[in-house]
Structures are given as structure tokens and as C-alpha cells.
Amino acid sequence: MLDDFFVRALLAGIGVALVAGPLGCFVVWRRMAYFGDTMAHSALLGVAIAFLFDINLTFGVFAVATSASLGLVALSRNRSLPADALLGILAHSTLALGLVLIAFMTWIRIDLMSYLFGDILAVSRTDVMIIYGVGAVVLAILVAIWRPLLAGTISPEIAVAEGLATERARLVFMLLMAAVIAGAMKIVGVLLITSLLIIPAATARRFASTPERMAMIAAIVGALAASGGLFASLEFDTPSGPSIVVAALILFLASLTWRMVEPERLKAEEVTGTE
């Protein structure tokens, strides 16, 4: 089954989506979309460093994304600049540094488009196994830190008063984000990773009554977007990474429509006395 490139791509896309959905819920709850974008942009610098020092690509991206997130935490303690300004500086600087560094490495031919927008159809058996292996570890750790992370999201003061290690949970969450970004880069690319975190979570938010249910729905929505985007890419010969994001957008717009239609339907049933 894994001999078929499309099956491998489908499995890889679903695997990343199942992990990105629950993590994306915290990105939405904590209003960290720009933070996720910053970490994603730093991934290109990780690619450049991996090629420069001839190390594993995923490890290089993970190391740089982690360094960027920890550097942001350190810089944010300096109140001289607002957080959004720091995020903007870090995001665009790391992206530009990556591009410049790649330009200097004239002895290596690098397909920038595949790193910027993904090349999911090129994933190998090893990539699929890594995605599911890392994904299982990420989800297990997320379950372990769920309570302090959620408490710190809702009310940091109450969480601290209850003795929950919210700061440690936050740092672990950043490491999980870095791991997912490193794994998802080949799927949707540096410029589209954040959308795979945010859009399914934003869609799930409209249907979920509890945080846990939102995380599960976000994972399902992400998997549907990955599957639908890949089949659309195959049918219409469009880029696979952007097609997955467009599929996620369509699901989000459909959720908006459903939430607008549903109250009207219930109101009509009340008036007519039907169910």
C-alpha cells in the first residue's frame, strides 16, 4: 500500500492534521497565531542551517524553531518593545536570514518552492513513519500537560494558586509546536503551516461545547481538509499544500453558514411546532 505515492501523501497529511488540530486549539485560545507564524518562518533558517552543516533536515528545523521560541520568551521579558513588534522582527528576520544563507550556498541546488509551499507528494515511507511516531509522542505529552496548560490559558492566576506548573507546561507546549512545524513543513510548507494549526481549530470552535471536544473535532476537520485537498489537487492538478489549506478554508466557511442557518431552522420549528 505504501508503494503508492498518493497513499503515502494521504497518510502523511492525515497524520500531521491529527496532531496539528489539538495543538491549534491552544494557539486559538491563547491568541498565538502570530507566534505560530514566527516559528514557522524560522523553519526556513533551519533548512539553510541543516544544509550548511549537513545534518538531518527535521532536526535542523526543530532546533531553530525551538531556539526562536525560547529567544522570544527571553526577549518578551524586556518591556521596551511590545510583543507583536518582537514577533514581527523575529518572523521576518529569520525568514530573510534563511533565504540569504541559501543564496550563498551556490554549491547546493535547493527547491525553495517545496519548502515554502510543501511537497507532500514526495514523502517517503520513512517520512510517514516519522510523522506518526513523532505525532504519537506529541499527543501523549499534550495529554500529560493538558490540565496545567488549559488552566494557565483560562486563568493563569488561579492556576498558580492551585500549584499547577503552568510555566513549565507552556515551555513544553512550545517544544511540541516546534516538533509539529518541523514535521509539517514538508506537507504544507513554511508559509502555510500556521493555517493548518489555526483553521481547523477555528472551525471546531463553532461546534464544540468543551475544550476536549474541540480538540477532537479540530483533528477530524484537519484530517478531512488534508484528504479533500489532496483529492482536489489530484483532480484539478493544483499545488497540494495550498489545496489542503483551501479545503480547510472551505470547511471553515461551511461552518459559518451552518451556524447561521441552524438558529433560523430552530426558530422556524418553534413557530410551526414541528421538529
How much is the mean pLDDT over the chain?
Answer: 86
Q: Which among 240, 226, 184, 187 has a CA at the least distance from the CA of 61? A: 184
- Has residue 269 got a pLDDT over 60? no
Residue 29: the pLDDT is: 92
State the average pLDDT over residues 42-61.
90
Torsion of CA 200, 76, 160, 176, to 10 degrees: 40
State the average pLDDT over residues 208-234.
94
Q: CB of 195 within 8 A of CB of 248?
A: yes
Q: CB of 66 within 8 A of CB of 174?
A: yes
Using CB atoms within 10 Å of the CB of residue 265, give its burial: 0 to 12 exposed, 13 to 18 middle, 19+ buried. exposed
CA distances from 72 to 36, 93, 101, 180 (A): 12, 13, 22, 18
Q: Which among 125, 115, 119, 112 has a CA at the least distance from the CA of 243? A: 119
Tell me the per-residue pLDDT of 3-35, one tens digit each, with 9 for 90 and over: 588 999 999 999 999 999 999 999 999 888 888
- Has residue 97 got a pLDDT over 70? yes
Residue 273: the pLDDT is: 47
Residue type, 231: F
Tell me the per-residue pLDDT of 152-170, one tens digit each, with 9 for 90 and over: 888 877 777 777 788 888 8
* Band (187; pLDDT cuts 50, 70, 90): confident
Domains and CATH numbers, the chain: 5-272 (1.10.3470.10)
State the average pLDDT over residues 222-241.
93
